[in-house]
Structure 1
Amino acid sequence: MSAWHQARETWTTVDELDIEFVVQERIPDHGLTRGSRRIAARQLTERDTTVDEVAELLGVDPRTVYRWRREDRQTAA
């Protein structure tokens, strides 16, 4: 198995405490896994956090946050 495939398995790992620090305390964490970033982004969005603030807290580009929000709306519809 390649290193890329091995790393991909960790994308879905979620640490609820790390997510809570970002969402509750607004402490940036750029080391979150992809799965944790998505969950944190959803929770921050529910709290009416701006796209720029979500991007800064999670260490992603604002366009990524817009894409995630669009995908979540499409899934909910």
Structure 2
Amino acid sequence: MSAWHRARETWSTVEDLDIDFVVQERLPDHGLTRASRRIAARQLAERNASVEEVAGLIGVDPRTVWRWRREDRNAA
């Protein structure tokens, strides 16, 4: 199995303490897993964080945050 495939297994790992730290303290953590970033982005949106702030805190491009928000709206 390649390194990329081994790393992909951790994408779904969720670290609640890391998410809480980013959301409550508003301190960046670019080491969040993919799933944790998505959850943190949702929680920050619920707290009226701007797209740019969310992107900066979790280490993604603002376009990714816009896409996630659009996907969440369409899923509701």
Superposed pair shares fold, TM > 0.5: yes
Q: Deviations over 1:24-73 (max 9, x none)?
A: 00010000000000000000001110000000001111000000001111
- Give the equivalent residue in structure 1 for 2:42: 42
| Structure 1 residue ranges, 4+ long, deviating more than 4 angstroms after superposition | none
**Tell me, which stretches of 5 or more residues in structure 1 are unaligned?**
none
| Equivalent-residue separation in structure 2 for 1:69 and 1:11 (angstroms) | 19
Amino acid at match of 1:30: H
TM-score normalized with structure 2 length: 0.97
SS of match in other structure, 2:73: helix
SS of match in other structure, 1:14: coil
How far the C-alpha of 1:75 sits from its partner, in A, is 1.0
| Equivalent-residue separation in structure 2 for 1:65 and 1:4 (angstroms) | 23
- The 5-angstrom pairing of residues 65-76 of structure 1 reads 65-76=65-76
- Give the equivalent residue in structure 2 for 1:31: 31
**Tell me, which stretches of 5 or more residues in structure 2 are unaligned?**
none
